[in-house]
Amino acid sequence: MRILIVDDSKAMQVIVQRSLVKLNIPNLEIKFAFNGTEGLDLARSWEPELVISDWHMPEMSGLELLDALNREMLGIRVGFVTTETSPERKSEALQKEAAFVINKPFDSQTFISVLAPLIEMMVQTKLKATEQALEQPMESAQPSRIKLPLASSIQKTLTALSQQSVSVLQRPTEALSEHWLPAVVGLFVDHQSKVVRGICVIDLEATSILGGILTGLAQNSINQYIGDRNVPKKIVGSLERVFEVLSATLTDTVHHRDLEFKSMTSINTDMARLEALLSRGNTHRMDIEISVANYGQGKMILIGS
């Protein structure tokens, strides 16, 4: 989850950052801005899911930042951590759909009690949107609109991301089995239309290996998760980074640009659903074997429409 902290105090930026880390948010990314103007520019380019802002700042206040984000309809939630205590001003912010207002100074428990349910609600909303997108057909006027990458391109991308020597081989298409589950599914969309044009499915072994490496787990822990067939949320969440870099390898040949990673979900036990997902019309498929020395191997499937 991408969170932008906007505050003209470096010390307060650090305090808010430390409080966020205590929430154990999967795949947390944090960036900083020192005033509303910087925050607005960064929100436009980086597209965070949540902005935590001070109220009183030079150049552009936190309330002015909220107004600007609302005008541009970027769909970004905004909350305040502020010394502003006026009930009228706080009411104004909430009427403008601020997610919360926390007064400075605050303790860790207060911060967690406000942010934890909000973060959980945002995660569930995103998951529901992904589930709905999976039920929609992949639209395509041409079966070969999306150009799938070479195995060598995927290998280079995953090696750079993981800082490990990753081997990637394209394999013949094969029937799925229960051994794939639980699987992680990533959705990729056209940047302009937001229509789903690509799907990536990663099996249990590849999820454990790639996610385990990205979260710094030892080999024996990764092997244990594979043996238990139960992968922690933190490892699954880290695969967002895998999908984000893979999006740069999926090319829309009509608009001549890369696809954009939208969201991800897990398919834990529903084999029929996974099979239906991979058998959609007007698509082409690439089956891949991923291996890392001393960690094992797993499988991935890419689909383009």
For 124-175, write each residue's pLDDT tens digit: 887 777 767 666 655 554 555 888 999 999 999 999 999 999 999 999 998 8
Helix H or strand E encompassing 290: strand 284-292
Buried b (16+ CB within 10 A) or exposed e, 186-204: bbbbbeeeeebbbbbbbbb
More confident residue, 130 or 220: 220
At residue 116, the 3 state secondary structure works out as: helix
More confident residue, 185 or 74: 185
Q: Is the pLDDT of residue 4 over 60?
A: yes
φ, ψ at 291 (rounded to 5°): -140, 145
pLDDT band (50, 70, 90) for residue 277: confident
Least confident among 110-114, 190-194, 251-255: 190-194
Helix H or strand E encompassing 202: strand 196-202
Query: What residue ranges define each of the domains in the chain, with the CATH number in brackets?
Result: 2-133 (3.40.50.2300), 137-304 (3.40.1550)
CB atoms near residue 219 (< 10 Å): 14
Q: How many CA atoms lie within 13 A of 122 on its CB side?
A: 19
Q: CB-based contacts of 194: which residues, under 8 Å, 6+ apart?
A: 262
**How much of the chain exceeds pLDDT 70, in percent?**
94
Residue 290 one-letter amino acid: I
Pairing of strands 166-171, 50-53: unpaired
* pLDDT confidence of residue 123: 82
DSSP 186: E
pLDDT band (50, 70, 90) for residue 268: confident
The mean predicted confidence, pLDDT, of the chain is 89
pLDDT tens, position by position, 42-85:
999 888 999 999 999 999 999 999 999 999 887 899 999 999 88
